[in-house]
Structures are given as structure tokens and as C-alpha cells.
Homo-oligomer: A and B are copies of this chain.
Amino acid sequence: MEETQTIQQMCTTFGVTPRTLRFYESKELLFPKREGTRRLFTRRDSARLKLILRGKRFGFSLEEIRQLLDMYNIGDGQATQFQETYRIACARLEDMERQRDELNEAIDELKAQLDWGRQLLHQETRTTD
């Protein structure tokens, strides 16, 4: 019971295309095993894909995501080059916090703008009576 998934199972559960999964493998974001020539995706791949898709929603590039995913693979001894990745993640975190703050401001402004729009829409042509 290796609990592996075929490419189509992955596609339906995650809402992506086969092309996307092959592309991610070519970019070393996923590492499915092979049964002959076919790909078999492990739980590890599923976990990584979940993080990849979330990262994308935050505007991370695939390359940045790859760097961040590597943070999860330091359990095996050498923390080689980990410090650089660590710095990247810290900087990125500050970016995200700034972005969240700006986002909050923008949301408020947009809400106000929409209220104004609502008033325009609901004017019952009473001014030209």
C-alpha cells in the first residue's frame, strides 16, 4: 500500500492539468516515481502540490516556491546553503506583511468607492422631475 496516485487522480483532486504536473516535475517541484514509464505521485507530492498552489495564490513565482519548499527538506544533516534560503523567506515574509497591510487599506477604499457607486445606481431619477 504505497498510497500513490495516478496523474489523472492528482488532476481531479487538485484541479490542474497533466501538463501542469509534468511541468512542475521538470522544474523539480515534484518528484513522482515511475511504474515503467507512468508517473506515480506520492503523499509527499500531494503535500508539495498543495503548498505550490497556495504559494501561487500569493503571487510567489514557481522558482521562489521551489526555494521555500526546500526548507522542508533539511532534516537530513547538512544545512548547506540553508541560510540563504532562510534569508529569502524572511524577506518574503516582510513583503507579505506589507502587502497584507496595503491590501487592507485598498479593501477599505474600494468599499467606499462601491458605496458611492451604489448611490449612483439607486438614484430614482428624482432630480429631473
Interface residue ranges, A against B (CB under 8 Å) = 54, 57-59, 68, 71-72, 74, 79, 82-83, 86, 89-90, 92-93, 96-97, 99-100, 102-104, 106-107, 110-111, 113-114, 117, 120-121
Contacts and interface: CB of A to CB of B under 8 A. Distances in A.
Q: Ordered nearest first, which 10 A-B pairs have the shortest CB separation?
A: A100-B103, A59-B59, A86-B117, A93-B110, A96-B107, A79-B120, A100-B100, A89-B114, A96-B103, A71-B113
A106 B100 CA distance: 11
Copies per complex of this chain: 2
Contacts of A120: 74, 79, 82
Contacts of A82: 117, 120-121
Contacts of A104: 100
A71 to B, nearest CB: 6
